[in-house]
Structure 1
Amino acid sequence: MNRDMHSLQFYQATLDSLTATIAIIDRHGTILFVNRSWRVFAKQNGADPDRVSEGCSYFSVCAASAAEGCDEARSFIEQTDLMLRGKILEFVLEYPCHSPEEQRWFQVRVTRLTEDWDNRIVVAHEDITSIKQAHNELQHREILLHNIVNVSPNLVFVKNSEDRYLIANNALAAMYGVRPEAMIGRDDVELITSRGLPSAEQEKFQQDDRRVFASCEPLFVDEESFTDHSGDLRWFRTVKAPIVIDGEARYLVGIANEITRDREQQQIVRTGQLRLQTILNSIHQEVLLLDTDERVVWANDQACTKAGMSFADYVGRSYDHIYCRDCNDIGTCPVHEVFLSSSMQRQTFVTNTGATLAVSVSPVIGDEQTVLGAVVVAEDISERLSLEHQLRQAQKLESLGTLAGGIAHDFNNILTAILGFTELCLDRATADPAMKEDLEEVYQASLRARELVHQILTFSRRTEQETKPLDIALIIKEAVKLLRSTLPSTIEIKSRIARDVGMVLADPTRIHQIMMNLCTNAAHAMRESGGILSLSLDTCVAGENGRTEQQLSSGRRYVRLEVGDTGCGMESDLLPLIFDPYFTTKQQGEGTGLGLAVVHGVVRDYGGAIDVASVPGRGSTFTVYLPRAVDEQHEFEDGHIKGELYGRGEYLLVVDDEPGLTRLAKKSLEAAGYQVYTENDSIQALTLIREKGQQIDLLITDMTMPGLTGERLALETSRLFPALPIILVSGNTARLPESLADHPAIEVVPKPVDRKQIMTVIRNLLTRSHRS
């Protein structure tokens, strides 16, 4: 009897100690028991005690609420019926209980007592208003108390003095992988060892339990491990308190709050700090964290390296002591300004060593919008400023190239007229040798002007680079003539150019560019004391005499060009750098550092190689190797047109908006045996084509014309007469437009055009057209 009384008191004390409002009812809905929280809840919410206390029908109260439209009450009745019929063991409902002053939410958990023939059920109500309101901001925390006993996510349990479980909630049972009822009457030894879990944990739990029973005082364990049935190590913060009856600790109530996530978050924070430090230590900028006294709290590796001290020595030092002593004139200190204005500050200054530093200082703002410190990022931008200057110089060169390209385009039209009419005059000057000699000089000067225009267009990137078999000895000789007239008398030129060195597959403009760049550098090396500029051109075979030049194909024949000087020479450590873009040994403003880089690129494009030898104080020698090519047969001999290039009475239509060029074309082509129509208006030319297209054998048209461009005129002509050969004459490109790529007989001829060149293209197109 006494034991039953104690058991009743135990259950009464246990249930009365819970914050949940708990009632036990029978299968008919009669309330058999309510705890203290239930009575307080009923009183606070204005419920009639006679309707919700022992002996009253709880189902009647719910039915009345359901009749008033309460969905939760209706759901309660339906699920209770399922529970009493054995369909479910428990259910949980949430319901509002609002008042004009506040909104409140409650949760009711209804559990059927197991192994109870009377089918009694437990109704537990709990106020979850605070949980509802704080749910979003408290997701990172474990819910300390969601429900008591089975409702709580914490581990809630009650043990007797024999350390056996009397009550164990679902969360605790889940740790062992059993149902709550399977834990009743068993101790930790049985539960832990039967599942192969660490025995050290069981011994720690029992030791703490004995301590609580012996002292009758609560025990708080800030952190302890608990391995669950899956073998996962989890961490909890535990409180164990005795239930004292008659001065003796008869029972122990324990609640354990899981802190695994907190530990993981702490580990994440530590890992994040380590990652951030790693990132900051890997960048080339100096990064400092300062406190409000402007002293270093943290510094990255770059800052420590620049300061020449360890991290430990760096921390605690004043920012003024570190940076301001190196400044020539920093003006207002950006760190001081950050603490005064609470805004980011940027400043650039030059140090005593000549380096340019860009300093950015950002405030660290706290929750109350106060400045807690500052982050300083300092970067040496000297190299970047130098590169920006070089970029501006390159952009200037590009602008000059664009301007030069526009001038060269217009100049091509003038040169075409000069070349053409000079050729006509040469044909009529056979009886006057003196005049013919003068006209030959004009003609040669015009050819040199044409090459000059071609170089300008190449520089402005408005013409395509074409390679062809080329006797570079002629270009070298022309360059030597030019150099003799431009270099000072203190520099002597010695040239040794072998005969019949063979042909090189190259572009004459780029060969001239190689020659002039190398000779200009050689002359610059001798500008102060003078000297000898030596040039030689011959052939060699890679690998002969046991020598194989780097990057050359062994056994292949090469044309070898050597340019030497007796100037200042270069140190050996500079030789690997001289072909890098923007590298120069000249003073500022004397060079761009692009000359040798351009030479190297051209030689490499042609499949050759370049070598350099230099001795300080004695001079330098650059050796260029270019693969030798097979000579081509030419359509012209001794400057005269071959007989098969003359016309046979074919009709040609020449279209150009420059009247002087159409007159020239008419004279030249008619003298060569062609019949010529001319037109200065492209629209009128199209009309003529429509009228006499069957009679016209070939169309020659300028690309750039007002109204209807040469490309459009060619397109319209090809639609009317698809097989009609067409020559497009262009002042800025030798590329065939994509719109005419499928035309069977079309060529693009760059201006200025000489008579031999146009005759060859005309005859080839007409021959191809007749064969088709």
Structure 2
Amino acid sequence: MDFQNRLKLIKATLITAWLIGLICFLSTLIISIQSPQNISNSFFWLQGLGIFALLVAIGVALFYDQWGFRRLRDRLSEKTRDLRRSEERYRSLVESAEDFIFTVNASGRFRSLNNFTAVFFGGTPSQFVGQPLSALFPEEIAEKQLKLIRLVFRFGKSVRDKFMVTTGEHQIWLSTNFMPRKDEQGNVISVLCIARDITESKKLEDQLVNTEKLASMGTLAAGVAHEVNNPLGIILGFTDLLLDKTDKNTQSYQDLKTIERHSLHCKAVVENLLSFARHGEGVSEYCDINEDIKDIINVVKHSLDMNDIELN
């Protein structure tokens, strides 16, 4: 039986007892008028009946009141246990998470933080409570975080950002989410910050950017190679014509051979660039790794020669 039905039952019992008492009183009054000589016995019995009815009503009311109190106490104890278990699960989840989790007030001072955050920065949670953000993060990062925290207090909405944090030998990237914690009236009372280490993801992202740059360089190299290849062919063609018309014993002939030799070298470099930039489907096949190494050396040979680097 719920609380409302219990109140209705108690009310009905009290009304019934009051009616019985009223009936007893009226009956006594009527008997006293009709038979004055029998008033003593009638009054005694009717009065006893009224008192008995009143006692029954009070007993019923007290019984249901105690029963309801016990039910309410048991429900309160059950809800308290549920709340305690829920709080323990939440605390266990926060403490076991390998993320930076902390709450701050409007001035950017720590109200709480999980054990992982405190241990990472070389302390315990109690040591950092009440300290400013700059106690954990570099001054520049702390100022940037404080601006975002003030935005959360002002507008009551979550904001996200990424930070690079350097502490000692550690240099990590953090993806941070600043979320408002509100009271029953909807006012922001603190900001919950959850920061996740995304250093590995950042490295993969940088590698992807570098890969895209290399792909762009391949496309650029192909374009440059094609543009250089055309005039280079013309130079070689006219050099051959001049060689045919020049006496081999003259200095001019030697100069033309020098032009031809370097032009052929440029032609080989251009062909290597085109080979490097050429896109094709990946095919698994056996190959001579020594020949592949020679091809790679031919691509970079000019740079090696310019820097006086000799391969053995």
- The residue that corresponds to 1:327 in the other structure is 139
Q: Shift of the alpha carbon at 1:378?
A: 5.2
What residue number does 2:66 align with?
A: 218
Any idea what SS the aligned residue of 1:363 has?
Answer: strand
Post-superposition offset of 1:307? 3.4
What is the alpha-carbon distance in structure 2 between the residues aligned to residue 350 and residue 505 of structure 1?
45
- Write the letter of the residue equivalent to 1:309: G
1:369 maps onto 2:217 in alignment: no
Equivalent residue for 2:98, pick from 279, 282, 288: 282
Please report the TM-score for the alignment, with normalisation by the length of structure 1. 0.25
Would you say how many aligned residue pairs link Structure 1 and Structure 2? 248
How far has the Cα of 1:305 moved from its partner? 2.1
Q: Give the alignment of 1:145-184 within 5 angstroms.
A: none
Closer, same or farther in 2 for the Cα pair 1:464/1:438, shift >3 Å? farther
Superposed, which structure 2 residues align to 1:185-264 within 5 Å? 218-219=66-67
Identity, % of aligned pairs? Answer: 23
Note the 1:104-115 alignment, pairs <5 A: none
The match for 1:411 is 228
Q: Secondary structure at the match of 2:291?
A: strand
Q: For residues 383 and 517 of structure 1, do their structure 2 counterparts lie closer, same or farther at Cα, with a shift above 3 Å needed?
A: farther
Contact (CA 8 Å) 1:357, 1:378: kept in 2 or not? no
CA distance in 2 between counterparts of 1:410 and 1:464 reads 25
Deviation at 1:463, TM superposition (A): 8.0
Amino acid of the structure 2 residue aligned with 1:453? V
**TM-score, with normalisation over the residues of structure 2?**
0.51
The alpha-carbon deviation at position 447 of structure 1 amounts to 1.9
Distance change >3 Å, CA 268–CA 398, structure 1 → 2? same
Partners of 2:272 and 2:298 within 8 A in 1: no
Structure-2 residue corresponding to 1:317? 130
Corresponding residue of 1:510 = 296
Which of 284, 298, 307 is the equivalent residue of 2:121?
A: 307
Cα deviations by residue, 1:124-177 (Å, 9 ceiling, x for unpaired): xxxxxxxxxxxxxxxxxxxxxxxxxxxxxxxxxxxxxxxxxxxxxxxxxxxxxx
Distance in 1, matches of 2:297 and 2:258, equals 24
| Residue 448 of structure 1: how far off its partner (Å) | 0.8
Larger radius of gyration: 1
Instruction: State the shift of 1:276 in Å.
Output: 3.5
Of residues 274, 293, 296 in structure 1, which corresponds to 2:110?
A: 296
Q: Which segments of 5 or more consecutive residues in structure 1 lack a partner in the other structure? A: 1-16, 21-35, 38-211, 223-236, 240-255, 471-502, 524-532, 536-561, 563-772
Q: CA offset at residue 371 of structure 1?
A: 1.0
Task: Quote how far apart the aligned CAs of 1:300 are.
Answer: 2.4
Q: CA deviation at 1:432?
A: 3.5
SS in 1 for 2:185: coil
Deviation at 1:450, TM superposition (A): 1.3
Q: 2:30 corresponds to which residue?
A: none
**CA positional deviation for 1:382:** 9.0
- Spell out, residue by residue over 1:324-378, the C-alpha distance to the aligned partner (whole angstroms, 9 max, x if none): 8x41582793334433443445678898979798765332133422113211345
Does the C-alpha gap of structure 1 residues 362 and 394 become closer, same or farther in structure 2, counting only changes over 3 Å? same
Residue type of the alignment partner of 2:122: G
Asked if 2 retains the 8 angstrom alpha-carbon contact of 1:468 and 1:505, the reply is no
Write out per-residue CA displacement over residues 380-415 of structure 1, whole angstroms, 9 at most, x where no aligned residue: 889988987787677556544433321212333344
Q: What's 1:453 paired with? A: 270
- By percentage of residues, which structure has more strand? 1
Tell me how far apart the structure 1 counterparts of residues 238 and 203 of structure 2 sit (CA, whole Å).
52
Pair 1:342-2:156 in alignment: yes
When residues 456 and 463 of structure 1 are mapped into structure 2, their CA distance, relative to the original with a 3 A threshold, is farther
Aligned position for 2:86: 269
Task: Measure, in 2, the Cα distance between the counterparts of 1:519 and 1:266.
Answer: 76
CA distance in 1, matches of 2:66, 2:152: 52
CA deviation after TM superposition for structure 1 residue 292, in Å: 6.6
CA offsets 1:301-336 (integer angstroms, 9 cap, x no match): 34202432213434x424357358x41582793334
1:464, 1:218 → 2: CA distance? 84
Counterpart residue type for residue 282 of structure 1: E
Residue pair 2:179, 2:193 contacting (<8 A) in 1 also? yes
Contact residue 157 and residue 179 of structure 2 kept, 8 A: yes
Aligned equivalents of 2:235, 2:302: Cα separation in 1: 27
Query: What whole-Å deviation, never above 9, does each CA across 1:219-242 have from its counterpart, x for those lacking one?
Result: 5686xxxxxxxxxxxxxx589xxx
